Amino acid sequence: MKALQQMIQRVAENPSRPWALATLVHTEGSTYRKPGARLLVDPDGGTLGVLSAGCLEEEIARHGRKVIDDGSPLLLSFDTKRLYGCDGRLKIFVERLPAAGQNGNLITNIGRLLRNREVCRVRISFEGDSIGSDLLTFDVLATECRGVFIDTVPLPVRLLLFGTGPEIEPIIELAGNLGWVFERFGHPSELEGDFRPDAQTAAVVATHNFGRDFATLQKLLSLNLRYAGLIGPRKRRDQLLNHLLDLGVTINPGFFSPAGLDLGAEAPEEIALTIVSEIQRVLAKGSGQSLRERKTSIHTPQSVDSSKCPTSAR
């Protein structure tokens, strides 16, 4: 997600420059990235983003410069087992991305939809008579078929941060490195009454004050977020939950306290890592286990029932 946001920013900051956009549209076997990954090529051959572990980008950039010059899209095929011993096959569609100008282009329009938290679907037709990429409106029913890849671009994680605890700044730094967006609140009353979360919205409460924790949880738990984490000891959590239950507040499976994975953390920066990791696990439906324990591909999602996952022992 961060690479895509960087592309959006780069294109918006250079509205008169044309580009080549390379999109991974098909994979077989073991590959570094999944379909939907993108690489931006500028007229000088510079690149932004990655489609492999570094072995294909130079060649893709060379083709990208040609596409910028003549406007003709290309479908590149790579057999990484034959070339690099990686046992994978990829198809990468390279097309010319016109200058954004005043009306925008595909990348800036994707950026607009993501900023507005709207569904963003891109249809990439890479074989046949009519090839290229276009944005699909929400009311268009489209299915994948031979030579067509439908990419639903995920919304960036939106993180609601309540409080001024020492963990907040490290959380912001880690979230920024991941391309997440965040909003800070000193008091729960600052969250708009008609706020509408989506599936990529998470919250962390770090006021370290019983009264403010109580008021914040009262508001957050009604939103039924997939992740709402409370920083603090179990004893205070239990006291808060007893008061909330007395008021009839429902404690949903998305409530995590103490927040964070059990990584043996002590310092604020370490605690921030455990919390950001837990949010990633929950929203991406990961297992949280070591990858060496997996019996399937690391890119195959493993759905987890969050209500049955152990909380941190911190």
pLDDT of residue 84: 62
Cα–Cα distance for residue pair 257/255, rounded to 1 Å: 7
Examine the pLDDT at 305 and tell me if it is beyond 80: no
Backbone angles phi, psi at 150, to 5 degrees: -100, 115
pLDDT of residue 181: 95
pLDDT for 85-107, tens place per residue? 567 889 999 999 999 999 999 99
Q: Which of 73-82, 119-128, 293-302 has the highest mean pLDDT?
A: 119-128
pLDDT range class, residue 171, cuts 50, 70, 90: very high
Examine the pLDDT at 291 and tell me if it is beyond 90: no
More confident residue, 18 or 303: 18
Mean pLDDT for the chain? 90
Share of the chain above pLDDT 70, in %: 93
More confident residue, 55 or 253: 253
Examine the pLDDT at 215 and tell me if it is beyond 60: yes
Element spanning 10, H or E: helix 2-13
Examine the pLDDT at 45 and tell me if it is beyond 80: yes
pLDDT of residue 86: 67
Tokens 């489209």 map to which residue?
A: 142
Examine the pLDDT at 312 and tell me if it is beyond 60: no
pTM of the entire predicted model? 0.84
Which of 34-37's residues contact partners 24+ apart within 8 Å by CB, and which partners?
34/299, 35/149, 35/151, 36/149, 36/151, 36/153
159 close to 181: Cβ distance less than 8 angstroms: yes
Task: Sketch the domain layout of the chain as residue ranges.
Answer: 2-153, 158-308
Examine the pLDDT at 309 and tell me if it is beyond 50: no
Examine the pLDDT at 303 and tell me if it is beyond 50: no
Mean pLDDT of 279-300: 83
Examine the pLDDT at 307 and tell me if it is beyond 50: no
Give CA separation, 222 vs 15, 105, 228, 249, in Å: 43, 39, 11, 8
CATH superfamily of 158-308: NAD(P)-binding Rossmann-like Domain (3.40.50.720)
Examine the pLDDT at 306 and tell me if it is beyond 50: no
